[in-house]
Amino acid sequence: MNQFVGYRPFPRLPLFAAGGLVVFALLLVSIGRLTGAGVYRAPAPAASISRDLRFEDRADGSVAVFDASNNTEVTVLSAGANGFIRGVLRSFARERRADDAAITTATAGPPFRLQLGEDSALSIEDRATGRVVELNAFGETNSGAFAKLLTEKGSAP
């Protein structure tokens, strides 16, 4: 006999039912992640403006931005400025290094495609890895830094 007066053990059936529900949910999530079943992907909106860009690091710490279609220099991002653009480029470079293609830097390989959709969604796509970053999600100031790259004319090198 138990030494506690009025002791009643927790019913096992609800405990097993809750555990089974957790296992079932994990199983469904795993199947969905592995097979893509039940995943909704919104179609990409058509681009109204796009520009292929190539970025080149310079010895003084600045980054030169080139229009990949005609190799004209669009602008130079000075050292210590444009932190958001540099952060996005670092993440792309890291992913390119990890990619099977073994592209070593963000400047090697296919250019990046910066595009403004018909729905005013600004995004940049790494054409080497297929990764797309929706820039509007980071606020007006950060997306505006990239938006300037769409419209700047640049000059021949």
pLDDT in tens, 102-150: 455 545 678 999 999 888 889 999 988 888 999 999 999 999 999 999 8
Distance of alpha carbon 9 from the chain centroid: 51
10 DSSP assignment: P
pLDDT tens figures, 91-113:
998 888 887 654 555 456 789 99
Paired tokens of 133 = 């970053």
Name the residue ranges covered by the structural domains of the chain. Answer: 8-41, 47-151
Cβ contact 119:113 at 8 Å: no
